[in-house]
Amino acid sequence: MSKVTIQFEYEKETKNSVRYAEVPEDGKAPIVGSLYVQKWFAGNSKNIAITIDKKD
């Protein structure tokens, strides 16, 4: 198992969700790319972090 925490920053707002763009680590390719989060949860957050736990 391995865990990675990915940082995202606000990109734009759509009708019912907020789109966040991944901020990749230096020299590494993005893992997720863009992430859509429902407005009721995202609120006014400009930055979010997601932790992925990969089960091998």
State the pLDDT confidence band at 55, using cuts at 50, 70 and 90: confident
Alpha-carbon span 37 to 43, nearest angstrom: 9
Would you say residue 26 has pLDDT above 80?
yes
Would you say residue 1 has pLDDT above 70?
no
How much is the average pLDDT of 24-46? Answer: 95
How much is the average pLDDT of 18-44? Answer: 95
Which sequence spans correspond to the domains of the chain?
2-54
Asked if 53 contacts 16 with a C-beta cutoff of 8 angstroms, the reply is no
Asked if 28 contacts 7 with a C-beta cutoff of 8 angstroms, the reply is no
How much is the average pLDDT of 18-25? Answer: 96
Alpha-carbon radius of gyration of the chain: 12
Tokens of 51: 């932790």
Interacting residues of 37 by C-beta distance below 8 A, sequence separation 6+: 17, 18, 20, 48
